[in-house]
Structure 1
Amino acid sequence: MIKTLVACTALCASITAFAQPPGTVATWAAMPAHSWTAPSHMMLMDATRAGSRMVAVGEHGVILLSDDDGHSWRQARQVPVSATLSAVTFIDAEHGWAVGQWGVILATRNGGETWEKQRIDISVDQPLFSVLFTNEQDGIAVGLWSLMLTTHDGGRTWARTTLPKPPGGGKADRNLYHVFADRKGGLYISAEQGTVLKSSDGGANWTYLPTGGKGTLWTGVALPDGRLVVGGLLGSLFESRDGGSTWAALNSGTKSSITDIVATRSGFLGVGLDGLVFRQHEGSASFEVHQRDDRATLTAALIDGAGKPVLFSQDGVLTVR
């Protein structure tokens, strides 16, 4: 999971890239990732599980691995790019994919130890913000200006998908920030202007679902109890109990923007800007809201074996024990 701040950090990186002499940043981004002395203190954008292993991705092509529930981290042995990586996903303990700047897509078959490049387009920096595979063959990656790529052969080939125009007219050019799936096979993408996109046929066709909000939605999750929860700008949070047909606004108790939401054993946890960490327990309508003293820019979270969050940020891994 821009998260990454998933989207904003990636967009800022794009602006920086465009300001450089032609070819300079693109050439550097396509080079293999450097081995850093303190990689766990670098900007990290997303994290996920590969079986029991934790995997995090971030700036300069950094990919971190932890086999002790987030207590210690090491860098992946081989990453073929130095581009900022925005998101990562695994379908099991071995097979995973990561995406990021310059539309790069990486794949691993050994739990993240080594990665191979499946795609990069250094002619234009149209970053990918999120990636999801539903099995070893079928995957989708989404990003800037409604960029959507799909594969049905494990990523050996990727094809562009053209989205329909949004309701009310205009171009299909909204930024697509986070793709996730429910247990019934539905695919969802949190996007701009308070919109969630949904596909019920594996990504072949998409519809726009208005949540009632107007701000950008940076993240979303399908909970085990069937609820969908999406969040984003200025603490906006929306919930659906009918597969996205209708949405209700939730009072998150914060005005800090939400960058990631993850399911927990008894509800869900979210993180965001200004050191925001909040929880909702199953069966409760209220939230427990906490703000870290360091006001860290939190980008992602994972839950460890003890049920406690491991936090990822602009400053690297921030554990909460």
Structure 2
Amino acid sequence: MHKIHRSIAGAVLAMLASLYVAQPTRAADAPDAAANAAANSATSTQIALSAAKHRVGADHSMILGATLAGSRIVAVGEHGVILLSDDHGAHFRQAHNVPANATLNAVTFADAQHGWAAGHWGVVLRTDDGGENWRVQRTDTSVDQPLFSIAFRDDKHGWAVGLWSLLVTTDDGGITWKTQQVDPSAGAGKSGLNFFSVFAGPDKDVYIAAEQGTVLRSNDDGASWQTLHTGYKGTLWSGVVAADHTIYVGGLRGNLFASGDDGQTWQAVPSGASGSITDLVANAGTVAAVALDGYVTRKQAGQHDFVAKQLPGRDALTALVLNDDGSPVLFSKEGVLAK
């Protein structure tokens, strides 16, 4: 399986991101017909998103998700900005063609070429050339029910999650998306728990980090789900499965939890951060997280504990990528942080 990585900013940042969502244009201003045909069918009362614009200083845009596409770094954020780096994060440029200007919250790649991004207005975008060009696979502009996270196990099987227990799945690489009803049985009210991070484990395991310290697990690639309770009552923003199959989930106030038995039991893990953990990643034997108070915390292979370091500027960190040598590339509300 490709390198395990998930990226999602928490609800605090999702709310902040909503302030930056570009207003959709009328259908007459929509992207080309092929992109519209790939998107979900819309009624005559719905509106269409326009293409993202190339902008000076795009690397200073608010970035909410990042991942690796082979050795390339791909980062996504406000106004449909998608940034690419082929020198391990030293320099970034915008993707050539992004047909939706909605704020993008997350991005994932199945391999170096095939990737997906998700965000506001239920948008799912796909690329087949490593992030250079994208096309719309899903939108729902009848209501802004944002997708906060997206994950693919391979180039066929994927999941995206969002507001009000939204879970959409695909078995054909995103050509079609099916909305799946999930009852987390956690007393969240009629709107359901908000789902903030979806991430794949080994074999057919898939996990969702949600509100009220809830983690949902599927051991059949998302066909059915079981509700797990960490014992924590706060919101979980992010999650990842490490190379040793340990599951990590993080959330409010630096809370971090780990499970070594497929989520049956959970232990609190000192993260060293006090701000909300917005992203968790694993690569090359290292597990790392970033938080809104500017902390970067890492647990390297052979280490028992996480070691945290706060950036001097205390930037509100939103996402990170670990290069193959374990070095981090950091992203924030203010964009790419200089290495």
What is the TM-score when the length of structure 2 is the normalising length?
0.87
Please report how far the alpha carbon of residue 16 of structure 1 lies from its aligned counterpart in structure 2 after TM superposition: 7.4
CA distance in 1, matches of 2:284, 2:72: 18
Tell me if 1:251 matches 2:270. yes
Unaligned runs of 5+ in 2: 1-5, 27-47
Counterparts in 2 of 1:285-304, with a 5 A limit? 285-304=304-323
1:75 is aligned to 94
Larger deviation: 275-284 or 179-188?
Answer: 275-284
What root-mean-square deviation, in Å, do the aligned CA atoms of Structure 1 and Structure 2 show? 1.9
**Offset of residue 267 of structure 1:** 3.2
Does residue 39 of structure 1 match 2:58? yes
Which residue of structure 2 lines up, in the alignment, with residue 7 of structure 1?
11
For 1:192 and 1:169, locate their aligned partners in 2 and report how far apart those are by CA, in whole Å.
9
Q: What is the correspondence of 1:231-242 to structure 2 with a 5 Å cutoff?
A: 231-242=250-261
Residue matched to 2:80: 61
Q: 1:44-73, CA deviations, whole angstroms, 9 ceiling, x for partnerless residues?
A: 111111111110000000001111111111
The answer to whether structure 1 residue 260 and structure 2 residue 279 are counterparts is yes
SS of residue matched to 1:9 = helix
Shift of 1:14: 3.7
CA distance in 1, matches of 2:66, 2:204: 22
Render the CA deviation track for 1:82-141: whole Å, top value 9, x for unaligned: 110000001011111000011101001111110001111111100000111112111111
Are residues 1:212 and 2:231 paired? yes
SS at match of 1:11: helix
SS of residue matched to 1:70: coil
CA distance in 2: counterparts of 1:32 and 1:216, whole angstroms: 33
CA 1:169–1:252 in structure 2 vs 1: closer, same or farther (change >3 Å)?
Answer: closer
Match of 1:163 in 2: 182
User: In the alignment, which of 26, 30, 37 is matched to residue 49 of structure 2?
Assistant: 30
Alignment equivalent of 1:117, drawn from 132, 136, 141:
136
> Is 1:143 aligned to residue 162 of structure 2?
yes
Q: Structure 1 214/36 Cα, relative in aligned 2: closer, same or farther at 3 Å? A: same
Distance 1:305 1:136 in 2: 22
Q: Per-residue deviation at 1:15? A: 6.6
Q: CA deviation at 1:195?
A: 0.7
Q: Secondary structure at the match of 1:261?
A: strand
Change (3 A) 1:286 1:135: closer
Q: Secondary structure at the match of 1:221?
A: strand
The correspondence for 1:181, drawn from 200, 220, 232, is 200
Amino acid at match of 1:93: A
Residues 169 and 65 from structure 1, CA distance in 2 versus in 1: closer, same or farther, beyond 3 angstroms?
closer
**Which residue does the alignment assign to 1:21?**
none
The TM-score, its normalising length taken from structure 1, stands at 0.92
Q: State the alpha-carbon separation in 2 of the partners of residues 2 and 125 from structure 1.
A: 20
Q: 2:284·2:324 contact (CA, 8 Å) conserved in 1?
A: no
Whole-Å Cα distance in 1 between the matches of residues 320 and 204 of structure 2? Answer: 24
Distance, in Å, in 1 between the alignment partners of 2:18 and 2:81 is 17
Q: 1:222 aligns to what?
A: 241
Which residue pairs with 2:113 in the alignment? 94
Q: How much does 1:283 deviate?
A: 4.2
3-state SS of the aligned residue for 1:26? coil
Cα distance in structure 1, aligned partners of 2:83 and 2:270? 35
More displaced 10-residue stretch of structure 1: 79-88 or 255-264? 255-264
Match for 1:288: what amino acid? Answer: V
Letter in 1 for 2:182: L
2:326 to 278, 283, 307: 307
Equivalent position of 2:44 in the other structure: none
SS in 1 for 2:11: helix
Does residue 198 of the first structure (1) align with residue 217 of the second (2)? yes
AA aligned to 2:8 is K
- Classify the secondary structure of the residue corresponding to 2:293: helix
Distance 2:174 2:106 in 1: 15
> For residue 58 of structure 2, what is the amino acid of its counterpart?
P
1:84 paired residue number: 103
Paired position in structure 1 for 2:122 = 103
| DSSP 3-state at the match of 1:218 | strand
**Which of 48, 62, 87 is matched with 2:67 structurally?**
48
> Structure 1 202/125 Cα, relative in aligned 2: closer, same or farther at 3 Å?
same
Write the deviation string for residues 196-250 of structure 1: whole angstroms up to 9, x where unpaired: 1100111011111000111111011100011111101001110000011111111
Q: Compared with structure 1, are the counterparts of its residues 8 and 168 closer, same or farther at alpha carbon in structure 2 (3 Å cutoff)?
A: closer
The CA deviation string for residues 130-168 of structure 1, in whole angstroms up to 9 with x for no partner, is 111112111111000101111111111111100125146
8 Å contact from structure 2 (residues 17, 78) kept in 1: no
**More off after superposition, 303-312 vs 90-99:** 303-312
Does the residue aligned with 1:12 lie in a helix, a strand or coil?
Answer: helix
The question of whether the paired residues in 1 share the 8 Å contact of 2:284 and 2:325 is answered with no
